[in-house]
Amino acid sequence: MQNPSEIKLYSFCLVILFSLTHLPSRAVEEVTFTAGQPLNQNQPSIIVSILTEAFKRNGIRFKAVHYPSLRSLLYSSSGKLDGELQRVYDFHKVTDGKYPNLIRIESEMLTVWFAVFSTKQIKFESWDDLKEFRVAYARGQKNLENIILQFMPTEKIVVANNDIHAFKMLSEGLVDIAVSESRLGGDLLAEQQQFSNITKIKELYPVRVYSYIHNKHQQLAVKIADTIEQMKNDGSYAKIVGAGNYSFELY
């Protein structure tokens, strides 16, 4: 039979253990997402504005930084940073599940279109029309890579450092075609005189863009998705997106 002092010591240890295991979780005050595209480009800048407002409504400061696409994924999936600014809806499928720690914030950010650009008058009805040409696209776009590899011989494919690099190679005649996000490509043509010999041939297909958050913030992912849906309903989302060539669906 235990003596009273042992019982008191045992009870004290239980109280301490209970206290340690039931400490209130520390509220998230700030999150930092990373992007594989420069933040001053149209698409990332819109998504930053959407998320800034959504997190603000939940009492959280939002920040965004830019790193090359693969390094961006390394930082967000490892938890060094809190999330990924923009990836496609089926991100885990196109990356073969390599980044399981990232979970989708279940409210669509934008719908964007890929497009074919060239300095030549190219007929485009299907990907088969492009097999004879050399094509460039910016690295880090796994969904686009999967499509191009299905239809183009590998010796005809050039992976550029970024979209500007792809357009520069196209303008200089090193490739025949560049595939880029339609709005981004159009902005490059309008802003940079060096690309005046390039035209948009055809828009290809829509791509649904979502943000992803590290699973350490799993509960927060639900709150932010709900908040973005509220923003779509109260008109603040549409105000942020403005007159850009983007669309979205109201669920």
Q: pTM for this structure? A: 0.69
Taking residues 1-13, what's their average pLDDT? 54
Higher pLDDT pick, 247 / 152: 152
CA distance 215 to 20: 23
Q: Is the distance from CB of 193 to CB of 186 less than 8 angstroms?
A: no
Among 32, 234, 224, smallest CA distance to 109 is for 224
Residue 162 has pLDDT above 80, yes or no: yes
pLDDT at 151: 81
Q: At what angle do helices 182-191 and 163-171 cross, to 10 degrees?
A: 60
pLDDT at 80: 97
Q: Is the distance from CB of 99 to CB of 77 less than 8 angstroms?
A: yes
CA distance 61 to 65: 14
pLDDT at 250: 34
Q: Is the distance from CB of 206 to CB of 88 less than 8 angstroms?
A: no
Spatial CB neighbours of 198, under 8 Å, sequence gap ≥ 6: 117, 118, 119, 167, 170, 171, 178, 189
Written as six digits, the tokens of 43 are 């698409």
Outline where DSSP puts E strands in 89-147. Answer: 102-104, 110-118, 135-138
